Amino acid sequence: MGYLCGQVPGLKVEGLVTDSNSKTYLSRRKFFAATGAAATSAGTVAAAGGATDAAEDTGREIHYGMVIDARLCYGCHACTVACKAEFGVPLGENRSWVEYTEKGTFPHLSLGFLPRLCNQCSAPPCVPVCPVGATWKREEDGIVVIDPDICIGCKYCIQACPYDMRFLNVDTGSAEKCDFCIHRVSQGLEPACVEACPAGARIFGDINDPDSEISHVIAENPVTVLRPEQGTEPNIFYIGADHTDERDPRVESMYVSVTTNRRYEERR
Amino acid sequence: MAEGLTWGLPVILYLFLAGMGAGATTVSASMLLRGGGAHGVHHEIARFGAILGPIPVIIGTGLIILELGSFQNGNYFRFLNLLLVVNLSPMNIGTWLLFLFTSTSVVYAYTYLNFLPMPFGDRVKVRRALAWANIPLGLGVAIYTGVMLGAMPSRPFWNSPILAFLFMLSALSTGTALIVFTRALVPRRGLDEEQQEVVHKSGYVLATSDATFIGFELIVVFLFLMFAYLSVGDVRYAIETILPGGPLATLFWIGVVLVGLVIPGLLELYFVIPGLLYHRKYTVSRYTELVIAAAVIFGGLVLRYVVVVAGQITGPVGL
């Protein structure tokens, strides 16, 4: 997991905040309430404690990420439904969904569940291609956002995403994708999918804060990201995820069937 | 197969039309600067290319504006956001090139419409100045489309530096073919000896140019295929869509390679070689010219179709 060290500041000793007063443990909800209020003013954030050293290391104070424990997921689609309801995502499209991976033949087989959402990459390939500057990675919290009032709907970013996370919202004519529920997170709430998950498989938080629950979980478990060879440095981490693909050369002789549970039957 | 794609037929047509128009204007401008006076062989080619060039470019641009998600949702002028920003997105750079090229090529075309009054400057001087601008801008428009597709590691089929060069050569070749095609539509009866001479000589120049472009295009197609075939993983998987057995193989090998490149290239060589080697007169019936040019233009369209579709039905392998 060497490549993770570069992108999870919580693991970096030299990046630690020196101000010990601010390091009292907060519950997740309280933490969001605090950061949500602080994030309303960039100046407040920059002034907080001796945190500027850590900010220099990563370019931002807070960096939201998510850990998905695929061992706990049982594919109920509560996250998918919560997300669709939260944003009124048009029919046929999803900001988040759960893929099933069937593998092997009876009695030696497995069924894996893989929740998918925007990876909020640290090197997002969708951002530099935008010809009108309608999408960017937020300085204050690392969320990759789209401004639907600037977006012209050219669909270049949709092509550039190696995870097929973006789609054109036919109701607005703008590109759209998961934004970690900014409207909820900024009010101190968790994203809709996290709150809806009955298995507790999703953990959301600030990966720049070494004391956050998510940083603890990442530090204490083997985690993986999707398609790391694309160089996108995703911020969605999986525990126990089955990365097997139907086209995977590693399992050519084995029965593998992926059900995407979305409009596109093939994984893209 | 173009249904359900993120970029469908309007984009495919745009890539083809913008390339062909930019190619025609570029060929025209270079012919003018190589000694096209007010008449003669080079003038004949330059005039056709200049007047034809902007037409497909404007049609193609219209098609992609109509295709924009914002336009289809009633924000008819949202696309102007493109001209409010300068960034390094290939599409943004391309938009600026397209905007400048459309402006200069339309005025350039206007200078060839002798029956219309010239509101400013000397017609010939303006024409020459614009020709100098049109060559780099035309090549820019022809190249950027390939850069735009090639800029994405998520699309392994497109993610090759040679794709832009292939598009540029195809643009010049189809642009030349567009000039040949339109020239051949004009009946040649009743021309005096001198005019006949100009028609044949300009036909010879166009055929040799096009044969050269096609030759280079075949080399680039070979390099594109060979390096993808020798690669592993995503790129190798992607190229299999146009290798024998792939879903686009027939269209690629018959439509692009055979009909679009090999057959017209060999025909052009067949008619050009007597003049090239033995200084014989180049005489080809205009029906033959029509067929050759139509094949080249068809090949250019199918090339864009195959590339745009193949790029979108393939992606990263594994997860």
Looking at the structure of chain B, the number of domains it has is 1
Residue A32 has pLDDT above 60, yes or no: no
ipTM of the complex: 0.92
Of B71, B88, B237, the CB nearest to A247: B237
CA A117/CA A100 separation, integer angstroms:
14
Range of weakest confidence among A107-116, B82-91, B112-121:
B112-121
Contact indicator for B144, B101 with CB cutoff of 8 Å: no
Cα-based distances in Å from A109 to A101, A106, A239, B281: 10, 6, 19, 76
The predicted model gives B133-156 an average pLDDT of 96
Question: In the predicted model, what is the mean pLDDT of chain A?
Answer: 82
Cβ distance A152 to B148 less than 8 Å, yes or no, reads no
Name the least confident of A47-56, A161-170, B115-124: A47-56
Q: Would you say residue B253 has pLDDT above 70?
A: yes
Helix (H, G, I), strand (E, B) or coil at A195: helix
Contact B72 A173 (CB under 8 A): yes
Query: If DSSP codes are grouped into helix, strand and coil, which group holds residue A175?
Result: strand
Mind telling me how many Å the CA of A218 is from chain B's nearest CA? 20
**Beta-carbon neighbour count of residue B146 at 10 Å?**
26
Q: Identify the pLDDT of residue B139.
A: 97
Q: How far is CA B187 from the centre of its chain?
A: 25
For residue B44, the model assigns a pLDDT of: 86
Checking B192-197 for CB contacts under 8 A at 24+ apart, the result is: none
Tell me how long chain A is. 268
**How much is the pLDDT for B304?**
97
Of A153, A231, A245, the CB nearest to B319: A245
What's the token pair of residue B196?
């006949």
**Does some domain include residue B249?**
yes
pLDDT digits (tens, 9 = 90+) for A215-263: 999 999 999 999 999 999 999 999 999 999 888 777 778 899 999 999 8
pLDDT score at B2 = 55
List C-alpha distances in Å: A216 to A141, A165, A259, B183, B306.
19, 27, 32, 73, 49
User: With 60 as the cut, is the pLDDT of residue A13 above it?
Assistant: no
For the residues B111-131, what does the mean pLDDT come to?
Answer: 90
Residues of B in contact with A168 (CB under 8 A): 6, 69
**Cross-chain residue pair B7–A153, CB shorter than 8 Å:** no
Instruction: Report yes or no: B37 and B117 within 8 Å, Cβ to Cβ.
Output: no
For residue B222, give the CATH number of its domain: 1.20.1630.10
The string of pLDDT tens digits covering residues A159-213 is 999 999 999 999 999 999 999 999 999 999 999 999 999 999 999 999 999 999 9
> What DSSP designation does A224 have?
B
**pLDDT score, position B196:** 85
Cβ distance A156 to B84 less than 8 Å, yes or no, reads no
Q: What is the pTM of this model?
A: 0.87
pLDDT at A47: 34
Residue B65's SS3 state is helix
Q: How confident is the model over B295-309, as a mean pLDDT?
A: 97
| All domains in chain A, ordered by first residue | 24-213+249-259 (3.30.70.20)
CA–CA separation, B163 and B171 (whole Å): 12
How high does pLDDT run on average in chain B?
93
Convert the pLDDT of each residue in A70-97 to its tens digit: 999 999 999 999 999 999 999 999 999 9
Task: Say whether B152 and A125 touch across the interface (CB within 8 A).
Answer: yes
Confidence at residue B212, expressed as pLDDT on a 0 to 100 scale? 96
Averaged pLDDT, B27-33:
94
Interface of B with A (CB under 8 A): 6-7, 64, 68-75, 78-79, 81-82, 84-85, 87-92, 95, 148, 151-155, 237, 312, 315-319
Would you say B15 and B311 are in contact if contact means Cβ atoms under 8 Å apart?
no
CA distances to A16, A198, B81, B166, B221 from A8, rounded to whole Å, are 11, 27, 36, 42, 43
Cβ contacts of A175 on chain B, cutoff 8 Å = 69
Compute the distance between CA of residue A4 and CA of residue A10 in angstroms, rounded to an integer.
Answer: 10
Domain boundaries, position B99: 9-313
Q: What are phi and psi of A146, to 5 degrees?
A: -125, 135
Structural domain includes residue B3: no
Nearest by CB: B7 against A159, A171, A247: A159
Which tops the pLDDT comparison, B281 or B102?
A: B102
Q: Do B151 and A172 touch (CB under 8 A)?
A: no
Task: With beta carbons under 8 A apart, name residues in chain A contacting B7.
Answer: 155, 159
What average pLDDT does this structure show over B110-128? 90
